[in-house]
Amino acid sequence: MAPLTAPQAEQLKKQLQQQKAALWEDIRAELERSGNQKFADLAGEVRDPGEESVAAMLVDIDAAIVDRQVREIRDIEDALARIADGVYGACIDCGADIGVERLQAYPTALRCIRCQDQHEKTHGGEGNPTL
């Protein structure tokens, strides 16, 4: 599989940023619904938060309410950081190109399909941190 071209990376970056904005909107709405008006206001103010402020803010939020969104935002920020570092699109396990079609379907994918299968077999599903 060919590595990502610059325009493809740029396009995926836009896609990730849009997803992040949509998740922020989700978080804000969810917090409002659950009565966390203070954090809802905060989330409303932070339209394009940097990684630091997101991390700081999310620590304070009752994560259970917005757990899924928070995890997705973290995945997106990881992906954006990988784009910035120029390592986006390479499998974190074997280093092979993940492939543009897979990335377009799953912009936060960290592994090629083969390694992802292997990972899920080994770890029994998603959500295991790989630190």
In single-letter form, the type of residue at position 97 comes to D
CB closer to Zn ion, 12 vs 112: 112
User: Minimum Å distance from CB 3 to Zn ion?
Assistant: 14
Q: Record the tokens describing residue 50, joined without a space.
A: 């940097």
Binding Zn ion (rule: CB under 5 A), the pick from 29, 46, 57, 115 is 115
Q: Is 46 in the site for Zn ion (CB under 5 A)?
A: no
The DSSP line for the chain is -PPPPHHHHHHHHHHHHHHHHHHHHHHHHHHHHTT-HHHHHHHHH-SS--HHHHHHHHHHS-TTTTHHHHHHHHHHHHHHHHHHHT-TTB-TTT--B--HHHHHH-TT--S-HHHHHHHHHHHTSS-----
Q: Is 113 in the site for Zn ion (CB under 5 A)?
A: no
Q: Is 94 in the site for Zn ion (CB under 5 A)?
A: yes
Build a one-symbol-per-residue string for 60-89: x at contacts with Zn ion by CB under 5 A, - elsewhere: ------------------------------
Other Cβ atoms closer than 10 A to 106: 15
Binding Zn ion (rule: CB under 5 A), the pick from 25, 32, 93, 97 is 93
Q: Is 1 in the site for Zn ion (CB under 5 A)?
A: no
Q: Is 21 in the site for Zn ion (CB under 5 A)?
A: no
Binding Zn ion (rule: CB under 5 A), the pick from 91, 100, 109, 110 is 91
Which residues would be at the binding site for Zn ion (CB under 5 A)? Answer: 91, 93-94, 96, 112, 115
